[in-house]
Amino acid sequence: MKNYSFLKNIITAVIIAAVSFSCESKITRKTEQAKATDKPKSQPNIVYSDLIIKELSDYLMIPVNLPEDNQEKESNLNLSRSYQRNNPLYNMIFYRKQDGETHLLLDKKAIINSFDLLEVKAANKPITRVWLYRIIDQDTNADRKLNTEDAIIGYISDLSGKNLQQITPNNTKIINWVVVPGQNAIFLKILKDSNNDKKFTEEDKTNFVRVNLDKPGIGTEIISDQIEQEIKSYVFK
């Protein structure tokens, strides 16, 4: 009887040990899987595109890209008349030719949708030269990514990439622009999310803003609500 009891105790101990080992193995595997999952994703290498050289500027420009990602690819990005890529442009390095001083154009996450050099030749005035950028820097449709479905805001800087100044209102898209040398000004046509549906469609309103290049800032809309109401009263009479 004692032998039977002893044998029973041994069997029980073996079973308990086996169950404990199994549980520990499962916990260990789960822990290892969790650790593997917690490992941060490796960051892609930054891609520096070809130098942009303007003889009239003291600075060289180096576009900053990332390797092309099919999920984030914006095939309709047009990076200026003289610089075109399918990859989003995330920043711009300005390098001073004389002494090698460098600085970034942007101090935040954004996409530079296009950039153009504007030269304004007004009578009896020195030529005004500025960079005009179309920049996506706000997730206006709340889809947790920046792309051309979001607002595209106008900014200008001097040739050194400094004194960056927003010139079009938030939650708008630049459609086109025209320079008026006699006024040393730029007029920009914009599309507003006028129905607040977080989309830019043909149902939204357009307007124009005037920006004085002597004292740049966010331009005031030219067509007021009052003028628009008067137009409607005549057109839909």
The pLDDT tens digits for 28-45 are 555 566 555 566 677 778
Backbone angles phi, psi at 134, to 5 degrees: -110, 115
Q: Do 2 and 78 fall within a single domain?
A: no
What pLDDT sits at residue 168? 97
Which segment of 15-29, 62-76, 102-116, 121-135 scores lowest on mean pLDDT?
15-29
**How far is the C-alpha of 168 from the C-alpha of 6, rounded, in Å?**
88
Q: Look at residue 27 and tell me whether its pLDDT is greater than 70.
A: no
What pLDDT sits at residue 166? 98
**How far is the C-alpha of 48 from the C-alpha of 65, rounded, in Å?**
6
**How far is the C-alpha of 168 from the C-alpha of 173, rounded, in Å?**
8
213 vs 17, higher pLDDT: 213
Q: Do 168 and 63 fall within a single domain?
A: yes
What pLDDT sits at residue 9? 58
Q: Do 9 and 101 fall within a single domain?
A: no
Q: Do 27 and 109 fall within a single domain?
A: no
What's the rounded mean pLDDT across residues 88-111? 95
What's the rounded mean pLDDT across residues 191-197? 94
Question: How high does pLDDT run on average in the chain?
Answer: 83
What's the rounded mean pLDDT across residues 20-25? 55
CB 58 within 8 A of CB 98: yes
CB 184 within 8 A of CB 210: no
Identify the three-state secondary structure at position 39. coil
Q: Look at residue 80 and tell me whether its pLDDT is greater than 80.
A: no
Per cent of the chain over pLDDT 70 is: 74
Q: Look at residue 211 and tell me whether its pLDDT is greater than 80.
A: yes
End-to-end CA distance of the chain: 110
Q: Do 85 and 17 fall within a single domain?
A: no
What pLDDT sits at residue 31? 57
Residue 122: CB atoms within 10 A of its CB come to: 17
**How far is the C-alpha of 105 from the C-alpha of 133, rounded, in Å?**
11
117-129 residue pLDDT tens: 999 988 888 889 9
- DSSP β-bridge partners for residue 220: 210
Choose from 14-23, 31-40, 47-56 the range with maximum mean pLDDT.
Answer: 47-56
Q: Do 28 and 124 fall within a single domain?
A: no
**How far is the C-alpha of 161 from the C-alpha of 104, rounded, in Å?**
8
Residue in this structure with the two tokens 């320079």, named with its chain if needed: 179
Q: Do 30 and 142 fall within a single domain?
A: no
What's the rounded mean pLDDT across residues 51-79? 71
Q: Do 22 and 74 fall within a single domain?
A: no
Q: What is the residue range of 34's domain?
A: 1-39
**How far is the C-alpha of 137 from the C-alpha of 115, rounded, in Å?**
15
Q: Do 204 and 168 fall within a single domain?
A: yes
What's the rounded mean pLDDT across residues 12-20? 57
Q: Do 146 and 219 fall within a single domain?
A: yes
Which is nearest to 61 in space by CA: 193, 160, 158? 160
Going by pLDDT thresholds of 50, 70 and 90, the confidence category of residue 72 is very low
Q: Look at residue 77 and tell me whether its pLDDT is greater than 90.
A: no
